[in-house]
C-alpha cells in the first residue's frame, strides 16, 4: 500500500514537471523592469487572494462542520452587531490600502514618460501597423508574413504562425523607447506582453507608453482590440538589438530607402508581375482574396473587374488614393512607387485580366507630390 502510494507520487511528480514545461499557465515575467514589477505585483496580489480565500473558506467550512444541526447547534438570532460589522469593513479596507502602496509605485513608474531616447509613432491600420521613427526619419508598415497556404491548412503551420511579420519594429536595448500610439481607421490596441505595454490606438488621439528592454531578442504581440475582419492577422514583432547594432540598422534602413528611390528604372512585365504578386498577397489578398474573387457584398472582385479592364487611370487612382467611405485605403502613402506599379500591373494581368499592360514606377511617381 505504502509502496504504491510512493510510486503514484513519483509518477505524479514526473508528469507534472513535464506538464509545467509544456503548458505554462502563469503570466510571462517579461523583459523590462516594469514588466517584472507588474509580474511581481500580480503574484503578490494572487497570494493575498489565496490567503484570504483560505481564511474565509476555512472559517466557513469549520463553522458548518462544527456547528452542524446534528450536534444540536441552535441558531443565535440577532439583528446587528456594529462592532463585528466595523471589523469586517476595516480589514478589507486595510488590505486594499496595503496592496495599493506597491501598485501605485509601479503605476507612477509606468506613466513616467520623460526623457525618452527614441520616439516611435505607432499607427494602427486595418490590418497592419505603421512605425515612424520620429528622429530617425524611418517610416514603414509591418504586415503579417504567414503564408496564406498555412492559414488555409494546405501547408504545415510554422513555429510563429500568425505571430510573424515582414518588417519587425526594431528598438535598441537598454534605452528608453517612447511609443506614441494612434490609429488611422478604427480603434486598435498595441499589445506586447513581454514589454508590459498594452495601449489602445485610437483615431484622433495620441496615447503614450514606453519600454526599456534589457535583453536583446525578439518579442511578439498582437492587436488587442477587435478591429474588423483581420483583427487576428495583424501581429506585432519587436526586435531588440544592442544599441550599436540598432544604430547600424538605422543607417542601413535609410540607405536602403535612398537606393530604392534611386532605382526608378523601367521594368518589364515579368519583373513587375513577380514583385506585384508578392505585394498583392501581403497587402491586398486579405480583402480581395488570393484569387482576386473578392467577397461578394463586402470586397469587390478584381478578376474581370470593369474598372480594371476599361479604365487604367481610375485603377491607378483607386489604389494610390483609396476610395473614401469604403474599406479601400490609400496605398500611396503605404507602398513605394515600385511596389505600387508592380501590384497594379499584377492586378491588370492576373486571373484572366489579360490587359498585357505594364504600369511603370515613374507613372506613379508623377501622381505623387
Partner 1 sequence: MAAKQSLCALIASIAAAAFGVQSQDKLERDFAHRSAWPFIIGGLLGTLLFVLALWWLVDWVLASQR
> What's the rounded Cα separation, in Å, for the pair 67 and 71?
7
Output the CA–CA distances (angstroms, integers) from residue 277 to 51, 151, 230, 346, in the order listed.
59, 18, 20, 6
Q: How far is the CB of 264 from partner 1 (least distance, A)?
A: 53
CB of 198 to partner 1, least distance (A): 23
Beta-bridged to residue 182, according to DSSP, are: 123
Query: Which residues contact residue 67 at a Cβ distance below 8 angstroms, ignoring those fewer than 6 apart?
Result: 73
Instruction: Provide the grid cell at 274.
Output: 513577380
Closest separation between CB of residue 112 and partner 1, Å?
8
Which residues pair with residue 239 across a beta bridge?
Answer: 170, 218
Q: Which stretches does DSSP call E strand in 32-107? A: none
Which CB, 2 or 79, lies closer to partner 1?
79
Nearer to partner 1, 63 or 81 (CB): 81
Number of Cα atoms under 13 Å in the Cβ half of residue 61: 6
Q: What is the closest distance, in whole angstroms, from the C-beta atom of residue 103 to partner 1 in the complex?
A: 12
Nearer to partner 1, 80 or 159 (CB): 80
Contact 126, 140 (CB under 8 A): no
- Residue closer to partner 1, measured from CB, 90 or 226: 90
Closer to partner 1 by CB, 105 or 248: give it.
105
Tell the smallest beta-carbon distance from residue 58 to partner 1 (Å): 25
Sites of contact with partner 1 (CB under 8 A): 79-80, 82, 85-86, 89, 104-105, 108
In whole angstroms, how close is the CB of 183 to partner 1 at the nearest point? 29
Q: Min. distance of Cβ 113 from partner 1 in angstroms?
A: 13
- Please report, to the nearest 10 degrees, the dihedral formed by the alpha carbons of residues 90, 91, 97, 102 taken in order: 170
Strand partners, 183: 124, 203
Residue 91 or residue 226: which is nearer to partner 1 going by CB? 91
Backbone phi, psi, residue 202, to 5°: -115, 130
Nearest one of 352, 295, 299 to 327, comparing CA atoms: 299
Nearer Cβ to partner 1 (25/108): 108
Amino acid at each position: 500500500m505504502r509502496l504504491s502510494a510512493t510510486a503514484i507520487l513519483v509518477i505524479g511528480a514526473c508528469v507534472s514537471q513535464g506538464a509545467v514545461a509544456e503548458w505554462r499557465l502563469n503570466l510571462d515575467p517579461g523583459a523590462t523592469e516594469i514588466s517584472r514589477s507588474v509580474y511581481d505585483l500580480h503574484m503578490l496580489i494572487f497570494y493575498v487572494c489565496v490567503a484570504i480565500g483560505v481564511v474565509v473558506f476555512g472559517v466557513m467550512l469549520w463553522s458548518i462542520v462544527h456547528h452542524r444541526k446534528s450536534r444540536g447547534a441552535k441558531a443565535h438570532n440577532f439583528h446587528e452587531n456594529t462592532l463585528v460589522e466595523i471589523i469586517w469593513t476595516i480589514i478589507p479596507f486595510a488590505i486594499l490600502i496595503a496592496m495599493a502602496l506597491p501598485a501605485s509605485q509601479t503605476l507612477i513608474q509606468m506613466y513616467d514618460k520623460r526623457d525618452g531616447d527614441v520616439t516611435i509613432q505607432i499607427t494602427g491600420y486595418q490590418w497592419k501597423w505603421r512605425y515612424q521613427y520620429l528622429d530617425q526619419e524611418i517610416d514603414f508598415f509591418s504586415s503579417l508574413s504567414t503564408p496564406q497556404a498555412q492559414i488555409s491548412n494546405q501547408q504545415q503551420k510554422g513555429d510563429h504562425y500568425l505571430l510573424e511579420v515582414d518588417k519587425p519594429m526594431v528598438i535598441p536595448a537598454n534605452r528608453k523607447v517612447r511609443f506614441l500610439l494612434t490609429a488611422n481607421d478604427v480603434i486598435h490596441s498595441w499589445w506586447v506582453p513581454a514589454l508590459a505595454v498594452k495601449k489602445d490606438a485610437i483615431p484622433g488621439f495620441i496615447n503614450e507608453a514606453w519600454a526599456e528592454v534589457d535583453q536583446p531578442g525578439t518579442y511578439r504581440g498582437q492587436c488587442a482590440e477587435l478591429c474588423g475582419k483581420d483583427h487576428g492577422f495583424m501581429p506585432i514583432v519587436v526586435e531588440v538589438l544592442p544599441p550599436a547594432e540598432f544604430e547600424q540598422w538605422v543607417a542601413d534602413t535609410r540607405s536602403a530607402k535612398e537606393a530604392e528611390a534611386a532605382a526608378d528604372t523601367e521594368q518589364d512585365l515579368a519583373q513587375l508581375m513577380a514583385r506585384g504578386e508578392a505585394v498583392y498577397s501581403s497587402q491586398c489578398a486579405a480583402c480581395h482574396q488570393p484569387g482576386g474573387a473578392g467577397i461578394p457584398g463586402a470586397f469587390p472582385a478584381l478578376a474581370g473587374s470593369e474598372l480594371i479592364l476599361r479604365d487604367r487611370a481610375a485603377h491607378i487612382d483607386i489604389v494610390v488614393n483609396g476610395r473614401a467611405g469604403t474599406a479601400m485605403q490609400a496605398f500611396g502613402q503605404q507602398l513605394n512607387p515600385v511596389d505600387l506599379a508592380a501590384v497594379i500591373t499584377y492586378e491588370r494581368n492576373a486571373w484572366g485580366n489579360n490587359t498585357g499592360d505594364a504600369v511603370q514606377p515613374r507613372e506613379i511617381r508623377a501622381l505623387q507630390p
